[in-house]
Amino acid sequence: MDVQRYISSGVIENHVTGLLSEPEAREVEGAIQEYPEVKAAADAIRQDMERYIELWAQKPPAGIKRQLMERLRKDDVQDTPAASPITTTTEKTYDDPFSEEKGEGVAPIRIWQYSAVAAIILLLASVTMNVVSYGNSDQFKDQYAEMQAEQEAINAEKQALKDELASVRKEADILKNPAFKWTRMPGMGKHTGIVATVGWNPQTKETFILAQELPEPPADKQYQLWAIVNGKPIDAGVFELGNNARVIQKVKAVENAQVFAVTLEKKGGSTSASLDQMYVAGKVAG
């Protein structure tokens, strides 16, 4: 037997809702006993029907049982030919699902109506479960996307903190390194009151600047550091302000220096110092 094809044929749903004949029902019961997949499908259908009934169950209006039974009996009377003789032959009847007493039956021709109701309930249960599942799926997707965005924001903040910590540790290592010579450069002329500091390692030639008090330059200008040897300025590189004004920035390596100075130059730096634009300067100790 092709079990999957058998399951998808709909015969199990018909069996659960009572739409099959007795031989067909026995055949399905045999398949349920023999194939675990068929049994699982039948159990799932029954559970769906039970869940739907529990979810949507409401107490029927008063008198609905009596109205339905009267309508079914009336239809039976109308369907019976007028000339048909009344016989005393005992005919098998089916129990009234609304009756609390045994013996009150409904003609076999009406059993399909109850089966149809059960089939409709099964269909509605399936549709309802699919709609609910789809809605929950969209809701879970939205929640997952929101959680993912929050996680990405947390990761970005964590990485920023790690970078900041690494920068602080690097600055601490530089400040504690006795090989560095630190030169304080106070403001010159009309720029009195501002200050910047240069750290220079004569052994490794590494050079750093801390531009803690320099004013923000125009958009088309940039500060440039110079190492002055025998009165000749040597380019030591440009540096940034803004958020970088309070951190130690690495500039170009300096071979030798007697004085360090900072001038305001065009954006990107200049090949020659504009001495009339000198903001700060300081003599290298020792």
For 238-284, write each residue's pLDDT tens digit.
Answer: 998 877 767 889 999 999 999 999 999 999 999 999 999 999 999 99
Mean pLDDT for 139-143 is 74
Q: Name which residue leads in pLDDT, 223 or 131.
A: 223
241 near 225, Cβ under 8 Å? no
Q: In sequence order, which residues have a C-beta less than 8 Å from that of residue 203 and are 6 or more positions away?
A: 179
The model's confidence at residue 84, banded by pLDDT at 50, 70 and 90, is very low
Q: Name which residue leads in pLDDT, 161 or 200.
A: 200
DSSP state, residue 39: H
pTM of the model: 0.45
Cβ burial of 68 (10 Å; 0-12, 13-18, 19+) is middle
249 near 240, Cβ under 8 Å? yes
Residue 107, pLDDT above cutoff 60: no
The model's confidence at residue 60, banded by pLDDT at 50, 70 and 90, is low
SS3 93: coil
Q: Name which residue leads in pLDDT, 79 or 286.
A: 286
Beta strands in 159-241 (DSSP E): 181-186, 195-200, 207-210, 221-229, 232-238
Nearest to 132 by CA among 39, 206, 51: 51
| Rounded distance between C-alpha atoms, residue 215 and residue 212, angstroms | 9
276 near 173, Cβ under 8 Å? no
Residue 48, pLDDT above cutoff 70: yes
Q: Which one of 53-67, 72-86, 221-235 scores highest in mean pLDDT?
A: 221-235
Determine the pLDDT at residue 145. Answer: 83
Percentages (nearest 5) of helix, strand, coil residues in the chain: 50, 20, 30
Residue 172, pLDDT above cutoff 70: yes
Q: Name which residue leads in pLDDT, 234 or 3.
A: 234
Mean pLDDT for 48-61 is 62
Residue 117, pLDDT above cutoff 80: no
| Rounded distance between C-alpha atoms, residue 252 and residue 17, angstroms | 86
Cβ burial of 260 (10 Å; 0-12, 13-18, 19+) is buried
Determine the pLDDT at residue 103. Answer: 41
Structure tokens at 29: 């019961």
Cβ burial of 213 (10 Å; 0-12, 13-18, 19+) is middle
Which amino acid is residue 241, in one-letter code? Answer: L
Determine the pLDDT at residue 184. Answer: 94
Mean pLDDT for 140-155 is 83
The model's confidence at residue 157, banded by pLDDT at 50, 70 and 90, is confident
The model's confidence at residue 94, banded by pLDDT at 50, 70 and 90, is very low
The per-residue pLDDT of the chain, averaged, comes to: 78
| Rounded distance between C-alpha atoms, residue 182 and residue 190, angstroms | 24
